[in-house]
Chains A and B, each alone.
Chain A
Amino acid sequence: MSLERFAVLCTSDFNLYNRWFSGDDITPVLEQRHELGFNSCRVWTAYRIPLIGDCDPHRPGFYDQIPAFMELLADYALYAELTAFTGPYVYFPDQQAMIDHWNRLNDALERMTNLLDLEAINEWDNGPNAGVPLDQLRRPVNKLASHGSGAQDSPPFSPHWDVAGYRSPGSEWQRKVGHNAMEWADQWNIPVWTNEYPRTDNDPNPDHWYDGAASSVLLCAGAGTFHSPSGKDSKLFEGQELVCARSFIQGALSVPLEYQDGAYSRVEPNPPGILRIYRRTLPDGRFHEVRVRE
């Protein structure tokens, strides 16, 4: 047995399972994500949301087919973060229905080694999520689990579980996706990553995607989760999305993972055009820096 470093290089693919379960051929999407260099997808499991999709978990076979879906992702060397709750809720009449959904997801993933984590909720403090019984959910065993991400720059849900997702604010996001996630990781001593970046249509500057991914790999558990309009509906990336996706991966791969264990520091002053210079230094004195551009 040996442990090999792993950095989260994820993409939003919220509607991926719903598409596959509904009979769509998702292999071109998986092929594209894999070829670009992503190693994981963030997938939602129960929702009716415009521009994302309509995913009714009460369809016959919905939970039984999750292992086959996960195995298909594994054929493309992809892990999945599966998110249980993403309000508003049209498919759960009461809290018991939500708890049942959680338990069935947990059971369906029992033998899946390519689970990144089972995430309880997306943005627990966002209005439509009021009433989800997060304190009544059974904490998964033998698999990584997150108790849920918060809305922009708010704390992930507490008590934390094995890992946590962070959401950065919009201003200077290209440095906060790594730095602010690191602050939660340091406080809780668990892997944390930003599991929803701003979307590429909010910021189409590929330099920001490069710098955000690079600084995140250096400072926390990985580049985090690339976010785009096509990722919401799990379609092929095109145009500027594709440019930003490539830049995101290039930035993520520019950082040797051994430096994740180094001591954190911030180099000052910032030269013109640079927001921050982040550095991690290993005990032998070697260090790696990421310069985050304005």
Chain B
Amino acid sequence: MTPLAIFPADLSQPCTLVHDVAGWTLTSHAGAHPANGAACQLFDIPDGTPDGNGVTLSIPGKKGATAYHGVLYLQLPTGAGLVIDVFPPVMGGGTVPRLVAVGHVLKQDLP
């Protein structure tokens, strides 16, 4: 088992990690970074997971989870590391659907 430490904005909030090819989905738990002891969320990466493959990390938020895709490396001095290669759109005004008037009611114009 290899630890992967991440630091979401809410350190108490469990996150999920889905491996592209190994078939597992992991839920993180509160823990300490293996090298410096900083509070973090930890994934316990199972033995036998192939090195250098893709994973999707989901971090819960006020408007639902934000998903990042990256490459999971397992043989780093501190355990595992994640290099993000697909970034979601920046959160902000653009992510709330525009409202339209339809007769006497309002509706959200969903993409």
A interface with B by C-beta (< 8 Å): 1-8, 34, 67, 70-71, 73-77, 79, 111-117, 144, 162-163, 182, 185-186, 189-192, 220-222, 257, 260-261
Interface check B21, CB cutoff 8 A: no
Give chain A residues whose Cβ lies under 8 Å from the Cβ of B91. Answer: 71, 74-75
Give chain B residues whose Cβ lies under 8 Å from the Cβ of A1. Answer: 109-111
Give chain B residues whose Cβ lies under 8 Å from the Cβ of A76. Answer: 62
Could you tell me if B106 and A221 are in contact, using CB atoms closer than 8 angstroms? yes
The residue from A34, A114, A144, A185 contacting B96, defined by CB atoms under 8 A apart: A114
Q: Which residue of B lies closest to A184 (CB)?
A: B104
Q: Which residue of A lies closest to B109 (CB)?
A: A3
Q: Which residue of B lies closest to A113 (CB)?
A: B98
Nearest chain A CB to B50's CB is how many angstroms away? 36
The residue from B62, B95, B98, B105 contacting A260, defined by CB atoms under 8 A apart: B105
Nearest chain A CB to B33's CB is how many angstroms away? 26
Expressed in whole angstroms, the Cα–Cα distance for A114 and B63 within the complex equals 13
Expressed in whole angstroms, the Cα–Cα distance for A116 and B106 within the complex equals 10
Query: Chain A's interface: helix, strand, loop or mixed, by majority?
Result: mixed
Could you tell me if A74 and B110 are in contact, using CB atoms closer than 8 angstroms? no
Count of B interface residues, CB-CB < 8 Å? 23
Could you tell me if A221 and B110 are in contact, using CB atoms closer than 8 angstroms? no
Nearest chain A CB to B98's CB is how many angstroms away? 4
Nearest chain A CB to B45's CB is how many angstroms away? 31
- Residues facing A in B57-111 (CB within 8 A) are 62-63, 91-111
The residue from A3, A7, A71, A111 contacting B102, defined by CB atoms under 8 A apart: A3
Known contacts A112-B93, A113-B97, A144-B99: does B106 contact A222 (CB below 8 Å)? yes
Q: Which residue of A lies closest to B92 (CB)?
A: A71
Q: Which residue of B lies closest to A189 (CB)?
A: B103
The residue from A2, A34, A192 contacting B104, defined by CB atoms under 8 A apart: A192
Expressed in whole angstroms, the Cα–Cα distance for A185 and B105 within the complex equals 9
Could you tell me if A221 and B105 are in contact, using CB atoms closer than 8 angstroms? yes
Could you tell me if A34 and B99 are in contact, using CB atoms closer than 8 angstroms? no
Nearest chain A CB to B91's CB is how many angstroms away? 6
- The residue in A74, A163, A192 that gathers the most chain B C-beta atoms within 10 A of its C-beta is A74
